[in-house]
Amino acid sequence: MPGDFLPAFFILNPNRYFWKKYKMSSFIDFGIAQKQYNRMNRITQLFGTKYPIIQGGMIWHSGWRLASAVSNNGGLGLIGSASMYPDILRENIRKCKTATDKPFGVNVALLYPNLEEIINIILEEGVKIVFTSAGNPKTYTETLKKEGIKVAHVVSSVKFAIKCQEAGVDAVVAEGFEAGGHNGRDETTTLCLIPNVRKHIDIPLIAAGGIGLGSQMRAAMTLGADGVQIGSRFAATVEASSHENFKNKIVELKEGDTQLTLKELAPVRLVKNKFFHDLENLYETGRNIEALKETLGRARAKRGMFEGDLVEGELEIGQVSALIDEILPVEKVFENLIKEFNEAKVDLSL
């Protein structure tokens, strides 16, 4: 059976031979056509990974240890450059090269300073995959692609997914507002976003936002995604560079313990700690942007996620944190994801 036609069942468990057990017609009856099989394999083909699983390039979490561990386990690890000075980014890229011979990439948030210097380091160090976010996909896509770099861009709407395709990116990450950290203003859920984006673009589509279980990965791919980007589940791993205090906080969170806020500046999903409530209290006296900026101050995210101040720090995490109850090594996360994915085979034919 040609690799181009492998459905998700085969991609995530290539050593099993389901073909004798299941006929193509049964999959079509199940609502999955051969065209979808091709889509499901496009991420592994594009990035050269074993699984269509990307680890989000999260600030204060995604250093070389996490990225290399994800890549070594068959996914695509991303170094999060947004919380790194240029020299620290260069160091992380070099250490990641030493720690893995598998593909890895760098996430670049286009709204942060030192952008040109960051891009130059990526080019100088020979990084082959770049994910961009929080800005215009046209800004550096052409520059990067001329150097043979694969480019993906993160969006939260159909409108910007179309712009990404027009800009020439290789893949789109469509992120629902369940996600932690910076987010879309329209609060579109992953369940609604993915099939709508799929209708409007032809290039590979990666689903993000609210994905932490293998069953959720299967659901996203059934909706039309070719693969998934996972953040919060990888934040609560041994290899993540965030503070142990924050990792322990993640596994304690319950449903409703996070909320999207700061729409006046840049929408972000935060844990409801004292810092969050200080921000919310400002809304009672009016939506004063300057007051919000003053309360935010500098380095609040570093203070919370990297230094472990759970009271006064900014704590960014997704809604799926309510399903995370243990800090695990990356290898175990992959084992669980693949097991859950393969177990989530329920015939829902009507």
> Do 226 and 334 reside in the same domain of the chain?
yes
CA–CA gap between residue 20 and residue 274 (Å, rounded) = 57
> Do 329 and 317 reside in the same domain of the chain?
no
Q: Is 205 helix (H, G, I), strand (E, B) or coil?
A: strand
User: Is residue 248 assigned to a domain?
Assistant: no
Confidence band of 347 (pLDDT split at 50, 70, 90): low
> Do 29 and 57 reside in the same domain of the chain?
yes
Taking a C-beta distance cutoff of 8 angstroms, is the pair 131, 173 a contact?
yes
> Do 60 and 175 reside in the same domain of the chain?
yes
* pLDDT tens profile 177-196: 999 888 878 889 999 999 99
> Do 258 and 224 reside in the same domain of the chain?
no
> Do 161 and 115 reside in the same domain of the chain?
yes
Confidence band of 281 (pLDDT split at 50, 70, 90): confident
CA–CA gap between residue 49 and residue 74 (Å, rounded) = 6
Q: What CATH number corresponds to the domain at position 98?
A: 3.20.20.70
User: Is residue 246 assigned to a domain?
Assistant: no
Domain housing 207? 3-241+324-342
> Do 146 and 89 reside in the same domain of the chain?
yes
Confidence band of 291 (pLDDT split at 50, 70, 90): low
The values of phi and psi at residue 282, to 5°, are -65, -30
> Do 310 and 334 reside in the same domain of the chain?
no
What predicted TM-score, i.e. pTM, was given to this entire model? 0.86
Mean predicted confidence (pLDDT) in 137-141:
92
Structure tokens, 1: 């059976």
> Do 227 and 113 reside in the same domain of the chain?
yes
Taking a C-beta distance cutoff of 8 angstroms, is the pair 153, 172 a contact?
yes
> Do 72 and 163 reside in the same domain of the chain?
yes
> Do 206 and 190 reside in the same domain of the chain?
yes
CA–CA gap between residue 206 and residue 106 (Å, rounded) = 16
Taking a C-beta distance cutoff of 8 angstroms, is the pair 316, 180 a contact?
yes
User: Is residue 66 assigned to a domain?
Assistant: yes
* pLDDT tens profile 222-262: 999 999 999 999 999 999 999 999 999 999 999 999 999 88
User: Is residue 347 assigned to a domain?
Assistant: no
Number of folded domains that form the chain: 2
> Do 190 and 302 reside in the same domain of the chain?
no
* pLDDT tens profile 15-28: 333 333 333 333 33
* pLDDT tens profile 200-210: 999 999 999 99
